Structure 1
Amino acid sequence: MGVLRTRVAGVVALLLLALTVGLYLGGLLTLWLLRQPAPLHFTTYVEYWQALGQPDWQPFAGKIRLAGGLGFGLPLLSWAIVAVLILKPRARAFHGDARFASRGDLARAGLLKPSPEGVIIGKAGGDYLYLGGTRHIVMTAPTRTGKTTSIAIPVLLTYRHSIVCMDLKGELFQHTSGYRAGIGQTIYRFAPYAEDGRTHRFNPLMAMSSDPRVRVGELQTLGAILYPDEPGQDPFWTSQSRTAFVAFGSYLFEAWDDKVRQNLHGSDGRPIDPNTHDAFPSFERIYRFSAGDDGELKAFLQARLKEPFVSTTTRAALTSLTGMAEQTFASVIATTQAPLQQFLSPILAAATNACDFDVDVLRRRPITIYVVIPPQKLGEARRLLNIFFSTVIGQNLRQTPQDDPALKYQMLLLMDEFTAMGRVNVLSERISLTAGYGIRDLSIIQSLSQLDATYGADEARTYITNHAASIVFTPREQRDAEEYSKMLGDTTVKRRTRSTGKQGTSYSHTEERRPLMLPQELKELPNDEEIIFLEGCRPIKCRKNWYFKDRRLKQRIVPPVAVRPISAAGEHPMPGKTRQAIAAAVSLALAACASPSISNAAAAESSAAVHAAPAIGVKAQHVPSTLSNGCRP
């Protein structure tokens, strides 16, 4: 229907052009036949036609009509022939008529229109291809094919909404964090395995509900990630490990709630802060609790049962645990501790014992979080990555933008090596719903078989189906090449054959089926080209958008944001410049409240001090040279 509408519009446009040409040509022929030296105008023929009613012009009526017939007849005849050719129903190819998208197809699909939420997926004829709306993207690209330099970095340099990206080598942070900070994004770098300690902190347990009834379910979700069902493993140990983890976590939460109820204060006289107090639950603290004191673990747990704040549910779980036979108890504890042992690392513990950012506000403010994991730590970080992204997604599936107008930003999950974190249940089970919450997904995998191995063939197929766009780089696996060849479809090829006999030479024409691209042709796809499958559009063959070959994008590569190292205790040390900046800002604010005007020199000096101070979450912004008098008490 859309194609027919386009054809009709084209025919109407050609008719208007034919009438315009007819007016000029009719006027020109009229002046030539009448031997008139008058200048030619758009309305010349109309004026002579109107003069036919006057007696003086009757002798010239034949020439005027002849000029009109020739002037309009030739353009209209040409228009009629073209219109028939355009509107004539085209015979459908017997074997298929697959072809790659034309520029008109790209325009109709809305890919040539830039927008703040547009994700760059390629380049065609010098134009970026933007996928707007809330549609998901899956990208299949083997290693060393340019997925970082042609997709990930260009997206981070152009996408204006919030992004949470998996940055395996820190390359994305290095190249794009400075630019994103410059456009008003708050930047966080979660690098829990960074040996230099340059990371912001995130404790997934701080995102949990304060309602104990809800919190138990959230702990069970974490337990399912930490202790997944493994093929060939006795489910008893997995089940008991999850139960023990939930019991230990619940006890620590209930102990914390008891401290809060007692309104305990720290040494500085302020209420206790979960970010600084060592009693708030974290993975490291759950492990240390599971190890007990220096004495026997069962006795330690039985002593905890006497605490008055312990809930009935937690008490029952701990009682069941301590009632096990010694060998069974020891095996359950060992299985429970296994995935938590890595949190004994001082840097990892410091990075996960507190929070510097709140994932709940990713759709309220423009924020970029880089999750930096060294490649050699990828296996070790698998469950932590799963927990992190599950928490980010789960916390943002509570309200839709329609329910809360303050949720005015999208959140794009840019997940390189998507399968490295294992099965992310919240994403695989709710991928069809996340778009309605303003959550978009750009998953990058190496091959289809890699996704099958993680999610199973059927669920992997469902996952890909829920992505509106599929970007394909040159495949290396034969199975993938054959799959893409089928997806591209078949075209009809006409062949002319010649046969020679006693009666002379004869020719015949046959139609044959041929894939638009054969599997071997796909495997020979040039390194700077890609294929995009987009719902509602013909397959797109376009060029990769290498950022280092793009002058506009290269200009956006600026030095990265500076991140202060955390101490072994998990605190960001406050350097002298920060203390000076805080003092300058306070002095400036007090002066603004006390006096209606502030000298520009003092304001500029204070502004410079504020700019010099590193922040926990870094956001580049303009600091005015003077402050308004609207001071809050």
Structure 2
Amino acid sequence: MNREDREWHRHGSARFAERADLLRAGMLTQTPTSLFPGFCGGRPIWCDGDGGLLMVAGARSGKLRDILAYNLFSGICSLETILLLDPKGELAAISQNQTPDGKHCRYWNPLALHGLPQDRVNPVGHLKWSSPTLFSDMKVFQEQFLPRSGSANGVYFELNARRWGEAIGLALVKRNGVLTLPDYFRAISSIPEGGRDWLDLAWEMHASGIDACRSVEAEIHAGREDSSGGFRGILGELQKSVACLSDPVLRDSVSPPFDFDLADLCRSAPAMQVYLMAPPEMISPWAPVIKAIFTTAMVLKSRAPQALRQTWILDECAQLKGFDLVPKLFAYGAGIGVRPWAVFQTEQQMNALGKDARSIICSSASVQSWFGLRDLESAKRVSEMMGAETLDYDDPLAQGRAGVEARRLLGDVLSGGDAFRAAPRLAQQMHAAVHRAVQRRSILTPDEVMHLPPDRQLIFADGLPGPIYAGRAPYWTQRWLAGRYHPNPYHPPLDSVLVQTRFGPRRRPVLTGNVPAAFADLPQYRDGTWSWIGDEPT
């Protein structure tokens, strides 16, 4: 901005991005790896950058209905693998038809939600004895499985619990060839009893030839005589980390035989959609297993940079407390081919993930969308992010006074007054009579941010001169999406869907039948049946 522009916009030059700005940035052109964050002037906006995306939207604001659902339907992000945390399993239910893109769908679905498959997966399947990075990977696993609480009094117990967990895990890998969470749970649960199962594992740790295993086995043996509480404190932290696996339903979902491997996400083709279907009330109790899945997927993708880029959608992300992998992905995920999309209800929730998480995520996200805000702090932040403009306006009182004075001076001249003396003053008053005042004004004040229309959102994106005053709408109101989605199980009826036609909204039936041979190899149809919308598909 040159001096003349700075002088004119002395109070600020912020403005909304316009359609021409989006055209120049390539955000109105769809690619096979583009994500959809909203509308601009009725046209879809597309984001194809490597950076992460952030969505902050209040409860019941329509984030699934208006934004997230679009990105899981066939024809959108068709050449990219998607891994998503899907509370309630709604997204899995409505986006189950991926036949046009030939995507393979996998459903980690411990509670058998909505009649969808229950695929079993090993969240730590990369921890194999044959792996040259086993010891390093085990440390990464322990760091995420046993996060730091932040308590100064807990440091000793938490770090030693990680060390014990690492040694036990290594011993199990050496014995079985690969680690599974049920084996890990049973090994830790056997320590207090000290029965045959633990004695067998303790001997294997002692004879393993691994220094960490030998040391920890000796500590546990000696700790049984410890009356200071140190042994019980460390063991308590270790048991707490695997407490979720006492649930037999959860334990079965991560037990062999496994239906797929997380390494499948890194294959060159075809693309996949993997749904982690956990009811909202179970995300927090199951968080250690969910975090283990994401951690393993990150480790595997970082070692296969040539594989398809992955988009990770983390709805209800704040419930994964202490999961500092999320801010790390925003910082360096683009370099390993992972594009995170984190969803929160307020900006304060981000700090539940780890130290400085809010600062890291907000400063690293390439696209941010904010709507449905109900807390003042988030609204203030958005208002400040948007900036201020130099607003010019008519001041009737000042202009009126100047007009009265100009007419008086003109009357004096016409009455025989000295025109040469009155001319400068008259010119100044005539200018003041039409001069528009300027002041500083936020593009949107915090209260205006909190009261956006229900079909609007604010999007900040790299490469644009200002925020987008973007639109949003339910997916079933879009003609171009007709036939791509199934019914939402939480919004009956389930035997038909509402679609938009050229004649307005109409209902179309959900039909079922034998899966065609062309789609029989897709794992989501391994039971031999499939469903589609409307007439018999061609």
After TM superposition, the score normalised by the length of structure 2 is: 0.77
Superposition map of 1:178-577 within 5 A:
178=97, 180-194=98-112, 198-211=117-130, 214-232=133-151, 233-257=153-177, 281-292=179-190, 296-297=194-195, 300-301=198-199, 304-305=202-203, 310-313=208-211, 314-326=213-225, 327=227, 328=229, 329-354=231-256, 355-363=258-266, 364-365=268-269, 366-401=271-306, 407=307, 409-456=308-355, 458-497=356-395, 498-499=397-398, 503=405, 507=433, 508-537=435-464, 538-558=466-486
Aligned residues: CA RMSD: 3.3
> In the TM superposition, what whole-angstrom CA distance separates every residue of 1:222-242 from its partner, at most 9, and x where no partner exists?
222232222334322212322
> In the TM superposition, what whole-angstrom CA distance separates every residue of 1:70-102 from its partner, at most 9, and x where no partner exists?
xxxxxxxxxxxxxxxxxx989742212222111
Task: State the alpha-carbon separation in 1 of the partners of residues 278 and 449 from structure 2.
Answer: 32
Equivalenced residue count is: 461
In structure 2, list runs of 5 or more residues that go unmatched. 409-428, 489-513, 529-538
Kindly indicate whether the alpha-carbon contact (under 8 Å) linking 1:390 and 1:427 is maintained by their aligned counterparts in 2.
Answer: no
Kindly indicate whether the alpha-carbon contact (under 8 Å) linking 2:71 and 2:77 is maintained by their aligned counterparts in 1.
Answer: yes
Task: State the alpha-carbon separation in 2 of the partners of residues 483 and 475 from structure 1.
Answer: 11
Q: Does residue 116 of the first structure (1) align with residue 35 of the second (2)?
A: no
SS at 1:422 equivalent: coil
* 351-360 or 129-138, larger mean C-alpha shift: 351-360
Kindly indicate whether the alpha-carbon contact (under 8 Å) linking 2:86 and 2:277 is maintained by their aligned counterparts in 1.
Answer: yes
Counterpart for residue 533 of structure 2 = none
The aligned amino acid for 2:156 is F
Task: State the alpha-carbon separation in 1 of the partners of residues 516 and 99 from structure 2.
Answer: 18
In structure 1, list runs of 5 or more residues that go unmatched. 5-87, 258-279, 402-406, 561-606, 622-633
What displacement does 1:192 show? 2.9
Distance 1:210 1:431, change over 3 A: farther
Task: State the alpha-carbon separation in 1 of the partners of residues 360 and 30 from structure 2.
Answer: 29
What displacement does 1:349 show? 1.6
Distance 1:360 1:217, change over 3 A: same
Superposition map of 1:68-217 within 5 A:
92-157=8-73, 158-160=76-78, 161-178=80-97, 180-194=98-112, 198-211=117-130, 214-217=133-136
> In the TM superposition, what whole-angstrom CA distance separates every residue of 1:411-456 from its partner, at most 9, and x where no partner exists?
1101111221123333423533321332211111111111134333
Structure label with greater radius of gyration: 1
SS at 1:423 equivalent: coil
What displacement does 1:186 show? 0.5
Task: State the alpha-carbon separation in 1 of the partners of residues 294 and 30 from structure 2.
Answer: 28
Distance 1:301 1:332, change over 3 A: farther
Distance 1:319 1:293, change over 3 A: closer
Counterpart for residue 597 of structure 1 = none
Distance 1:307 1:376, change over 3 A: closer
Task: State the alpha-carbon separation in 1 of the partners of residues 369 and 197 from structure 2.
Answer: 58
Distance 1:93 1:116, change over 3 A: same
Distance 1:289 1:90, change over 3 A: closer
What displacement does 1:321 show? 1.7
Distance 1:542 1:301, change over 3 A: same
Distance 1:400 1:291, change over 3 A: closer
What displacement does 1:553 show? 1.5
Task: State the alpha-carbon separation in 2 of the partners of residues 451 and 182 from structure 1.
Answer: 36
What displacement does 1:459 show? 3.7
Task: State the alpha-carbon separation in 2 of the partners of residues 452 and 303 from structure 1.
Answer: 39
Distance 1:293 1:117, change over 3 A: closer
The aligned amino acid for 2:316 is E
Task: State the alpha-carbon separation in 1 of the partners of residues 377 and 31 from structure 2.
Answer: 36
Task: State the alpha-carbon separation in 1 of the partners of residues 122 and 310 from structure 2.
Answer: 20
Task: State the alpha-carbon separation in 1 of the partners of residues 141 and 467 from structure 2.
Answer: 40
> In the TM superposition, what whole-angstrom CA distance separates every residue of 1:144-202 from its partner, at most 9, and x where no partner exists?
11110111100111221110011001100000022x24420001001234488942111
Counterpart for residue 507 of structure 2 = none
Kindly indicate whether the alpha-carbon contact (under 8 Å) linking 2:84 and 2:314 is maintained by their aligned counterparts in 1.
Answer: yes
Task: State the alpha-carbon separation in 1 of the partners of residues 63 and 39 from structure 2.
Answer: 14
SS at 2:91 equivalent: helix
The aligned amino acid for 1:177 is Q
The aligned amino acid for 1:154 is Y
